[in-house]
Amino acid sequence: MRTLYNKVLSAAAHRHAKWWLALVSFIESSIFIIPPDVMIIPMVLADRAKWWRIALTATIASVIGGIGGYLIGVFLFDTLGQSLVDFYSYEDKFGQYMKIYEEWGGWAVFGAGLTPFPYKVITIASGVARLDLSLFILTSLIARGLRFFCLAGLLFYFGESIKKIIEKYFGLITILIFVAIFACLLLIDLSFA
């Protein structure tokens, strides 16, 4: 696993890094285990002026890959989808997500797309549950965009000084962002009720 991680990390310094980022973002959404964040951090630090292009590349490729995962859930779950869930030992996470999904629908996609929860589980489960594809794409765009643009934006504004904090507390940071967004939406909903 460490070797694979190091190869993905080294791709961030390659002259075609943006294409490697797009590939990693695309396949992480359905079959790959290393998240694009691993490449985003060194790419933004190497050229901070391109932070928004890096985040945009990761977002678009991730959502397109997510559509692939969704289609695996719809058409190939019994063959490929279940094999992926088993291979990565995501049976518990998949079951947990399906329970949350029944209650929250598109919000489950949003929350899991923003947090460290494995996005491939979300994409495949969304296909299995037959979530409306346009809702899936919209919530994925917003969640993945928030995640990648926040990460790249923090690196753009704070540079190396924020890198260690992000690497150490990334999961907590994304969960706190999700809770803050959810609380704001809840307050808006309550104020119009």
10-residue averages of pLDDT along the chain (193 residues): 61 78 92 84 88 96 96 92 83 80 81 80 89 94 92 88 72 70 63 57
Question: Which pLDDT does position 46 carry in this prediction?
Answer: 85
Question: Which pLDDT does position 116 carry in this prediction?
Answer: 74
The whole-angstrom separation of Cα 93 and Cα 180 is 23
User: What is the model's pTM?
Assistant: 0.80
What is the count of structural domains for the chain? 1
172-165-181 Cα angle (round to 5):
35
Residue 95's domain comprises 2-191
